Amino acid sequence: MRQANTKLTTVMYHYVRPLAVSSYPRLKALELANFEAQLDYLQSAYNIISPFELSASLMAGTPLPEKSCLLTFDDGYTDHYQHVYPVLAARSLTGLFFAPKCSLIERKPLEVNKVQFILASCENPYSLAAELDKYLLELGGHDIKLLRENYFAPNRFDGPEVAYFKRLLQHVLQPNIRRSVIDNLFNSYVTSDISEFTEDLYLTVEQAKEMREAGNEFGGHGSEHLWHAMASEDELNREITGSVDALTEIGAPVSGGFYSYPFGSYDDNVCKLVSDAGFQIGFTVEPTLFSLFSGDRMRISRLDTNDLPIKSGSQTDHWLSATKLLEG
């Protein structure tokens, strides 16, 4: 007999911390109190399921409860151990976490995080786009007008200046130029102590193992967190192999396991190679609900935390147009 529930709500989180009193209050993060308020809303309106319940449903047809909701957390931050894990445990909840090999095992910061902290450390982050253009002009070989025409546009959460800065430093510029720019800006705006920054920001293997023992689960999230659909064949293979290595290190399953495509970047080839490696459930960043009966389990959509409302007392404040998303 088919289950009555046809839609899955999956929520994606990244940074969750006491932001206002942190060292980087301008970081695009979810305030810890708002995370708890959001959980209040989700627990009042949904049945929050474990990763294992989702796997059993997709792989064996085990029914899920009405209005099922899965909590996912990308990038393997210390936030997830220090703040998220205790909050979930206190509510008898579990989540699905994704940590790249580069940060979890090799203890090297991700380029995407360096860019985020550059933006958080600059008093006027909108000026960074012009600073980047100036650097590229001095370097030579770059058509700034063409770059602006193609990439200077807002995205769902950023204005055009910040989105342009991110796009160029995430995937547009050549890797050697990208790394040089990021490292220079990071040393200037954030810190020159990479080791301390890394240990402050990322989960350790021991912490990940403890979280798993408490009922949480981990999935693959690349090696260096590259845009998978834009990666070369060799780069993509290293990303997937790195995911396998990271999960093996903490004892998490690969065969039948979970995978989150960094930046939500995937295509048919990416899904095939990830599946060939043994992963059976993949997550995108498309902000819709997932159809349990007709959806592709390698392309499970997720709502961003910013798409959801927070319930505070008797009032519910919607951050974006959450109602339509949640109603499917």
Instruction: Say yes or no: 173 and 295 in one domain.
Output: no
Confirm whether 22 is domain-assigned: yes
66 in a domain, yes or no? yes
Residue 2, in any domain of the structure: no
The answer on 307 and 225 residing in a single domain is yes
Asked which of 150, 176, 196 is the last residue of a domain, the reply is: 196
- Is the domain of 83 the same as that of 231? yes
The residue among 196, 221, 244 that closes a domain is 196
Instruction: Give one DSSP letter per residue of 63-121, joined into a string.
Output: ---TTEEEEEEES-BHHIIIIIHHHHHHTT---EEE--HHHHTS----HHHHHHHHHHH
Assess whether 13 and 94 both reside in one domain: yes
* Residue where a domain stops, chosen among 196, 226, 250: 196
Residue 312 reports pLDDT greater than 80: no
Same domain, 98 and 218: yes
- Quick: pLDDT tens for 53-110: 999 999 998 999 999 999 999 999 999 999 999 999 999 999 999 999 999 999 999 9
- In a domain, residue 11? The reply is yes
Look up the domain containing 31 and give its range.
Answer: 7-107+204-327
Q: Is residue 98 left, alpha or beta, with left meaning phi > 0 and alpha meaning psi from -120 to 50? A: beta
Q: How many domains is the chain partitioned into structurally? A: 2
Domain assignment present for 25: yes
- If asked whether residues 228 and 192 sit together in one domain, one would say no
Residue 93 lies in a domain: yes
Residue 293, pLDDT score: 87
169 and 39 within one domain:
no
Q: State pTM to two decimals.
A: 0.93
